Amino acid sequence: MLLSATVEAMEAMVAERGTEMTGWNEGRLDDLGERVGRIEKKMDDGFANIDRRFKEVDEKMDAGFVRLDKKMDDGFARVDTRLDALNGVMIRSMWTFGVGMLAFAGTLLGLFAAKF
């Protein structure tokens, strides 16, 4: 549709000049159609290549994210283990401190009871 509008415009321009348009015959239009078809095929092939490359990049990124997730999970597991150990030490320290305070309070109470 666009091509026919262009050809009609060209014919009108040639008619205004008073010369005859001899260059645009069916053979040249067929050649133009073939060239457009080849260009369209090249573009389709190029877009297919771009799609393939995007798919490759997506697969590489997905694999990278899987590796990163594993590294992060392993790191968090190590931190969890260390925090659990620290928590155990803190709980034992609190119990030791609590028992020590009770022993100290009992000793003070015994001293006060002995003095009075």
Amino acid 1: pLDDT? 46
Task: Give the pLDDT band of residue 85 (cuts 50, 70, 90).
Answer: very high
pLDDT in tens, 29-70: 888 889 999 999 999 999 999 999 999 999 999 999 999 999
Q: Where are the domains of the chain?
A: 26-115
Q: Mean of the per-residue pLDDT values for the chain?
A: 87
Neighbours of 19 (CB within 10 A): 9
Residues 6+ apart with CB under 8 A from 3: 29, 32
Amino acid 29: pLDDT? 81
Amino acid 96: pLDDT? 97
